[in-house]
């Protein structure tokens, strides 16, 4: 850490000296996600894209690097920073049943996921392994399977537990026939995610492994409930997602919304952690000139990082869903241009 | 003779490469004070010159700023109590 030493000396040679330490951070990592966990290598060409988000369900048999995803190991080995979102959410209803499998010679039986999340009225509620199931050890086999594959992959990544707890809990959850409110679901998730982080940290992990928990960051009270100091002490990053979905949304306002809540509400351990933006995007329906909006992001991130509070160190563009680049070529060109601008270089 | 005092403040703890960094140095010494010397030259017939004033500092202070990373800090201002410096991260 660089240090400035200032000395004041009077005419008689008497002196007073003091120091101030500072850090010069690395450039912010400009990152990407391609729809469907797709192979992004063609899209990365010629761009300063240095981080990548991926999504996996603990229910799947192939988490690391993933089914037909040897390119993820190659990218990681080449220095790409990978944010691996690991979800208790089950991605498909058809095989949401119990599983029996072997890991390193030991047989595990894991029951069917017993919780529903994202209970938006009028939609089909996805299933997920319940927080109670996690805390009772019923999901340990899932973690053992993930760990074995991760060790085999051998590339350190950030393990982001859950994609967006606020999205998952917004309309409450139900586990084993019992309904839980949003706030109750948050408390149960904190306990379960603490269990999972503790489980992994007690075992041998590839060098460079870090942890975070996922949040959309759109609800202040939920963000506070899901970021207690005891959990943050086990985590390496704060995280939230950033979307522009209105013509009035500026990059600065959208990137700063959750930061302002965090600075106001969270404790010193949480605020000592840098920020990983697992997803950011601009929705073309309301902001058809996506390239122009993307072009305002570097200055917004630089401005936020010049303020007090946690620094944003990674921003991964979500080229899917709300962030889908239409047309892709223009959006990708704008993204690559943005990532060659301070604070990304 | 008193010993001087000094405190410093950076405008951030973490900078991005290329950021402007600002350092504020606040310093003092109870012995230090400005003085004004007024000279009037009078000849043998009693004719005096116009007074000439000079300023001086009793027990003046000098500041040095050293950065162990080799960054150069440039003084922007100094009023005798507060000095501002600038560098590039």
From chain A, pick out residues whose CB is under 8 angstroms from the CB of B65: 4-6
Strand partners for A8: A16, B63
pLDDT confidence bin for B16, thresholds 50/70/90: confident
From chain A, pick out residues whose CB is under 8 angstroms from the CB of B60: 10-11
Residue B20: C-alpha distances to residues A57, A121, B10 (Å): 44, 51, 11
> Average model confidence (pLDDT) for chain A?
96
Nearest CA to B6 out of B64, B56, B58 is that of B64
What is the total count of domains within chain B?
1
Instruction: Tell me which residue range forms the domain holding A233.
Output: 28-338
ipTM for the predicted complex = 0.85
Quick check: is A16 in a domain?
no
Quick check: is A292 in a domain?
yes
Quick check: is A23 in a domain?
no
> Across the interface, which of A4, A14, A27 has its CB nearest the CB of B8?
A4
pLDDT at A94 exceeding the cut of 60: no
Quick check: is A296 in a domain?
yes
pLDDT at B12 exceeding the cut of 90: no
pLDDT confidence bin for B14, thresholds 50/70/90: confident
In percent, the amount of chain A with pLDDT more than 90 equals: 95
Report the phi/psi class of residue A208: left, alpha or beta, with left for phi > 0 and alpha for psi in -120 to 50.
left
In this complex, is the C-beta atom of B6 within 8 Å of any C-beta atom belonging to chain A?
A: yes
pLDDT confidence bin for B19, thresholds 50/70/90: confident
Instruction: Tell me which residue range forms the domain holding B58.
Output: 5-88
From chain A, pick out residues whose CB is under 8 angstroms from the CB of B7: 18
- The Cα–Cα gap between B65 and A294 comes to 41
Provide mean pLDDT across the span A85-102: 88
Quick check: is A333 in a domain?
yes
Interface test with A, best of B16, B62, B87 (most A CBs within 10 A): B16
Strand partners for A23: B14
pLDDT at A263 exceeding the cut of 90: yes
Report the phi/psi class of residue A202: left, alpha or beta, with left for phi > 0 and alpha for psi in -120 to 50.
alpha
Which pLDDT does position A95 carry in this prediction?
64
CATH of the domain at A165: 3.20.20.80
What is the total count of domains within chain A?
1
Which residue in this structure is represented by tokens 């047989």?
A107
pLDDT at A93 exceeding the cut of 70: no
Quick check: is A5 in a domain?
no
């Amino acid at each position: 850490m660089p240090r400035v030493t200032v000395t004041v000396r009077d005419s008689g040679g008497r002196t007073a000296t003091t120091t101030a330490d500072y850090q010069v951070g690395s450039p912010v990592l400009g990152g990407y996600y391609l729809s469907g966990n797709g192979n992004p290598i063609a899209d990365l060409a010629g761009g300063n894209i240095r981080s990548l988000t991926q999504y996996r369900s603990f229910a799947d048999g192939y988490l690391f690097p993933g089914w037909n995803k040897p390119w993820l190991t190659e990218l990681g080995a080449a220095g790409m920073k990978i944010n691996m979102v690991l979800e208790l959410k089950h991605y498909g209803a058809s095989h949401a049943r119990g599983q029996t499998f072997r890991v390193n010679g030991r047989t595990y039986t894991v029951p069917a996921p017993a919780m529903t999340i994202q209970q938006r009225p009028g939609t089909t509620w996805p299933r997920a392994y319940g927080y109670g199931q996690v805390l009772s050890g019923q999901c340990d086999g899932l973690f053992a399977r993930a760990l074995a594959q991760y060790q085999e992959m051998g590339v350190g990544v950030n393990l982001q537990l859950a994609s967006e707890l606020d999205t998952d809990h917004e309309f409450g959850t139900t586990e084993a026939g019992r309904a839980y409110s949003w706030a109750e679901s948050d408390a149960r998730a904190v306990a379960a995610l603490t269990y999972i982080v503790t489980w992994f940290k007690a075992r041998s992990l590839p060098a460079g492994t870090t942890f975070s928990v996922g949040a959309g960051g759109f609800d202040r009270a939920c963000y506070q409930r899901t970021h207690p100091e005891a959990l943050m002490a086990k985590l390496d990053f704060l995280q939230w997602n950033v979307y522009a979905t209105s013509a009035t949304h500026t990059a600065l306002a959208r990137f700063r919304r959750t930061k302002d809540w965090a600075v106001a509400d969270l404790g010193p351990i949480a605020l000592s952690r840098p920020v990983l933006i697992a997803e950011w995007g601009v929705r073309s329906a309301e902001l058809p000139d996506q390239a122009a909006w993307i072009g305002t992001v570097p200055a917004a991130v630089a401005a936020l990082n010049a303020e007090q509070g946690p620094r944003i160190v990674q921003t991964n563009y979500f080229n899917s869903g709300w962030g889908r680049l239409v047309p892709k070529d223009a959006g990708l060109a704008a993204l690559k241009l943005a990532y060659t601008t301070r604070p990304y270089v | 003779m008193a010993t001087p005092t000094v405190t410093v403040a950076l405008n951030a703890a973490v900078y991005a490469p290329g950021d402007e960094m600002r350092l504020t140095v606040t310093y003092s010494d109870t012995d230090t004070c400005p003085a004004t010397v007024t000279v009037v030259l009078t000849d043998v017939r009693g004719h005096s010159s116009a007074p000439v004033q000079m300023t001086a500092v009793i027990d003046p202070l000098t500041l040095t700023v050293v950065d162990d990373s080799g960054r150069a800090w440039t003084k922007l201002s100094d009023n005798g109590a507060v000095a501002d410096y600038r560098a590039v991260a």
